[in-house]
Structure 1
Amino acid sequence: MSPNIQPTSHQTVGDDEIDLAQLGSTLWFYKWRIGFFTALCTCIGVIYALTSTPIYQADAMLEITGTKNQVLGELSDLIGGTQTTPTDTEIELIKSRLILGKSVNDLGLDLVIKPVEHRWDKLLSQSDVQPELTIGEFHVDVLSLNKPFKLIALGEREYKIITPDEQTYTGIVGKHLQLGNQNTRIIVNKMVAPFGQEFTITRFTQLAAIERVRKNLSVAAKGKNVPILGLSMTGTDPIAIQNTLNRIIANYTEHNRNKDVQTATSGLKFINEELPVLEDKLRDAENQLNVYRSRSGSLDVPSEARGTLESLNKIEMQMVDLRTEKSALSEVYTNEHPAFKALEEKMKVLEQAKLRLNTSISKMPQTQQEIIRLTRDVEINQAIYVQLLNKRQELSILSASSQGNVRLIDSAMTAEKPIKPKKAIIVALASILGLFVSAGYYLLKSLLKKGISSEEEISALGLDVLSTIPLSEVQYKRDTMFRKIRKNKNARANSLLVIQDPTDPSIEALRALRTNLHFRSMGQDNKVVLISGATPEVGKSFVSANLAVLMAQAGRKVLLIDGDMRKGYLHTLLGQPEKVAGFADVLQLNKLPKQFNEFIQKTAIDGLEFMGIGSNTPKNPSELLLNNHLSQFLDWANHHYDHVILDTPPVLVVTDAAVMAQYAGTALLISRFGQTDVRELDHCISRFAVNNVNIDGVILNGVERTAKNYYGYYDKYAKYGAKS
């Protein structure tokens, strides 16, 4: 046996640094899988790009001029304090229900007809004819608004309709079709579609239709303080979005122009009503002034009162302007509008100024007061009369020729190429996504895999690696199928790989192990080979059974003992009965016999005999190992067999293996590739050391082809087995 190996926990601390070279090897090893997944994602991206519905965009441009005209500019002062119309206001006006609602009604956008297109149909279809459906009339009840009706072509002129409540009706092109109640009916004027072509027909409420248009409409200023608006609309029909955008622009410019005309007309109406009244007032004022002058002999206003009179005249003129503006605004805004409130505030200020001037005049002599009053009436009425005449002329011209403050720069036009999908970008992103996801997956898998993956990791503990056994694909598939049949994830195949496939690479590796053990055991009196593992499911029973068969096939007399009295299943692999006298029965005997043949079973393999777990296994088998029956029995086996293979429970689960190992000539540990951790092996060393037992070697089982062993020992047996 090898020198005593002490626990080497300090050696098991993993290197936390990332090995870039190893990551590169991992990528290179999985290059074909990464390439396949990348190509798959690229194909998906190509299919998506080719079958996605193209989205087009129509663009237009408007200029918002700063001043409409002098008269309306004065009215604008009341509303915004500036003669320039804010672009933000115009943007909101364009997107308002007032403008969009009229556009929806003008173009019938509340009725939406869509052919149903499937991605594969678009990809495989060779027809250039686009499905077409024209509806002459479509009325639905309130409950069916905003819900799609499905129309399916049954022939050149026949179709069927499926309502939202799954009712089916058949109709003929050109004829009315009643759909349930009297409020729901349709007439199809034209249908160009192959048999089975589906359409969806939806009648939206006006509000829903407006929201659909608004969702696809974009309005924005071309820059800060730049009075130019850019309008764009997106959609799947290039002609429809162009017509819709042009209609929105037409309705907006018409509204803008009509608002000016309406304002001018209201102001003109007010002036025409005021002029006759004002003309009478002017005539009366002149007569009164002439009569007073003749009676009093006063011909003119004193120079000291002239300034006061001129101030009164200006105030009266401003008040007339405000009344004119108020009349014009009343046709556009309500009394609660900020414009009205601002106008009323100005009127109050002028009234207060007028009151102060009148108070000043009242302090003058009676003669001066009277001449000032009469002169003021004449001058004010005369000035107002002239001013109203001028404004009437201006408003008359405006009413007849107003073009508003909006100028169309570019009418709506749709670009020839769709803006979406960006096919090249989609394909590129799909390829990049496939590359990074697949590469990232394998890199992460490599980084997270903490199990042993090389002989060097075991050697670092001071242990010898006696053999590396590649994963048998045949055994793996057989176990997988067996689990599915038994519906038990722990079930394993009930046959030996060495019998079913003697040229399997894993069997070739076991042959090499057999040779190794043969030479190691030469000269040893103790022929017992104990095989265990750190944890369950590492393949110790697989190694024990197949190794025993290989030794027997080499002409040796072999005894295989199932020492796992809890979960042993070697009897299943060898086709032996379970509940027969065996290992547990021997350990429970009061007195050991000279021969143990009654506890040993013959097998179908020449030279191989088997001792099962026994017919009477206790709940705590470890207690059976405390007497000397085990040593006496193994001593007997040493003298009657060339090799004794003892399969034991996992070391870290129960203490059985560490106790049995005291009576073995060779103690082997099975470590599972990618599963057994280095720390687990270190703990096994500690367990065995407590019982003064040496671990003579480790078998690395289930080795898979990975980046770490790509050019290593995996292919050694695989290539050999392929040639056999």
Structure 2
Amino acid sequence: MESQENSLQANKYLQIWKRRYIPAINIFFSVLLLSIMAAFVLQKPSYVAEAKLRFQRNNATSTLTGVGTEIGKLEPVVEDNQINPLNTEAEVIRSLPVVQKTISILQLKDNSGLIITPEDFLDNLTVKNVNKTDILSISYKDTNPVQAAKVVNVLIKIYLEQNVNLLRIETATARKFIEKQLPNAEAVVQQTEAELARFKERYQLVSLQEEVTQSVAVMGELQKQMSDVQSNLANVDAQSLAVRKQLDMNSQQALMMASLSQTPGVQDILKEIQQLESQLAGRRTVLQDTHPQIIDLQEKLKSLNGLLQQRVKIVADTSQPQFNNNMQLGALQQQLAAKLVELESNRLGLANQTATLSKLQAAYKERLNIMPKLEQYQRQLERKLQAAQSTYSLLLQKLQESHIAENQNVGNASIISQAEVPNKPSSSRLLTYLSAVLLASIASFATIYLLEAKDKSIKTVDEAKELLGLTLLGVIPVVGKLKKYIGSDEKAESYSQRLIVRDAPRSPISEAYRMLRANLKFISADNELKVIVVTSSVPTEGKSTVSANLAVAMAQTGRKVLLIDADLRRPVQHKIWELMNSKGLSNLIIGQAEITTAVKNVMDNLDVLPSGVLPPNPGSLLDSLRMATLMETFASKYDFVIVDAPSINVAADAATLGQMADGVLFVVRPGVVDSVNADFAQEQLKKSGQNVLGQVVNGVIVNNEPYSYYYYYEEERSHLTTTGVNNTKAVAGSSNN
């Protein structure tokens, strides 16, 4: 599909060349000759001086010393492998400050004695990268060879000085910036160190990792000790419980009883009380309670009990001691009481030890719980300190490097070869010829473009098809030499506007009209066409010739045909048929003539109705009821009625007549009608609601067409039948296209 489109485009350009090659060739050779003459007369010989610069990614001093290696490094800003830093340096050489300084130093002047402009200077200056090298070539063209060499050398000198100065400025700027930032960096280091020290002092940190390790070990030891103490406490509790059960008293009571049993005053009173109780019991056996002896014994017993209470209170340190009545313990009971007291003392000691260990363990655990946060914060402070120290160290290093680099007096570029005074001019005749050919070619193509842009006419059959969008019913070639087809000694040019189908039946043009007749028959297979109006966009498109020859072609089939010249403004049919035009269509409309006298028989089955006397108001006559009646009469008497109507852009007569006909046949002639008029005519036909049968492209020049639509007959009459069949197929194929 793409190759087909390219082929169509190539054919289009070829046709344009065929139409415009004569003026294009004339312009080409004229401009070529003038350009060559001007070049040799006006052009002075020019000389080119050239020098070369070599560039290194880093300058040699920085590479050897290792100091300031990043200063002046040749690298592109954008990360793109296709960007070459040498192109940037080339633009720096061509920059306005360098150029203006060179012009000022050398006082360069033009032919009129004025200081040249930077634009003129740059037109003669060439800076390019030598392929696959780190070398820039700088050349300058001038009519003075010495001047050309001076310009290049001065330009290179200015660039190198500017390059070194620029590096110095960049280094000084960096040094000042570092000197300004260095105190801040030092302050940040001191501040971070103080913050880290305060943190360690606050949390009493020496080494977090060691403290965590030791704390874990201490926690394990405390847990072990607590387990042992709890085991001992459980053992003491078990022994204490067994002793309490044997004594039937608690530890407080056992302690008190042991104290009382070991107090002599208490024991003496107890013995006296026991004696009195014995006496009282003995006397009660013989005496009554009211006896004075009984009462005396009771009073003594009461007194001794009071004294016992006082002494017990002193020993037990309580006002109401709770103990058994038996305050005299045996040796075993005393041992058990002492054991119980000892066990109670051990239990209290172990309980206190357990509480102490638990508090100590809780303290270590709490410390371990905050250790991760302390460690995290310490790492943050250490990282901050490390970063601050790194920044401070780097700034110190860069400050030293900037001091050294600022004193360096070299750059990345070095001169390989200075410009020498050229001996031979650089101007080449071949270049002059090529420039002249190029200029002449541009002029010739511009001529073709302007002629094509100015010419709005339809030029080919394809353009007519594309512009109008109508069915192509016939393609009529331009009238050529028809001498051998008509078989007479008359000049062929006299038949160019006449009846070719009648007078040259063997010609390709006659075959084209017969194809038009056949195509009209094909499109009217369902609805028979009887009345056909033939019109065009503008005059001189050959609509009258087409009407006449189409009428002849139809009449040759044996059908009865009437040809009406309805162009009441510029009639032609009476001239084609060599008839008198005293009576015709206009006379019939106004009733000044009869059909039998106005209609002329010109050949078998063909009658012609000329226009008649030209009226002052042809549009009114053609749009009258009388005209409509005449058209109905003609349609009933003839098999075909062909109406030669005026051009659409001249008058509205064709539209009026089209309403009375079965269809309109539109004639287009390449080279005569333009696209504007053709498009306007088509719009008028659409607006008036005409039944446009299709278009006939008339006067086609075969050589101007991209495709061969036609075959010219070269055979004699005896071979006409076979050749005619093939030619008919060829024309039919072109019509369908």
Larger Rg: 2
Question: Is the TM-score greater than 0.5?
Answer: no
Give the TM bin, normalised by the shorter chain: 0.3 to 0.5
Q: TM-score, normalised by structure 2?
A: 0.39
Question: With structure 1 as the length reference, what TM-score do the two structures score?
Answer: 0.39
The structure carrying a bigger strand percent of its residues is 1
Greater share of helix residues, 1 or 2?
Answer: 2
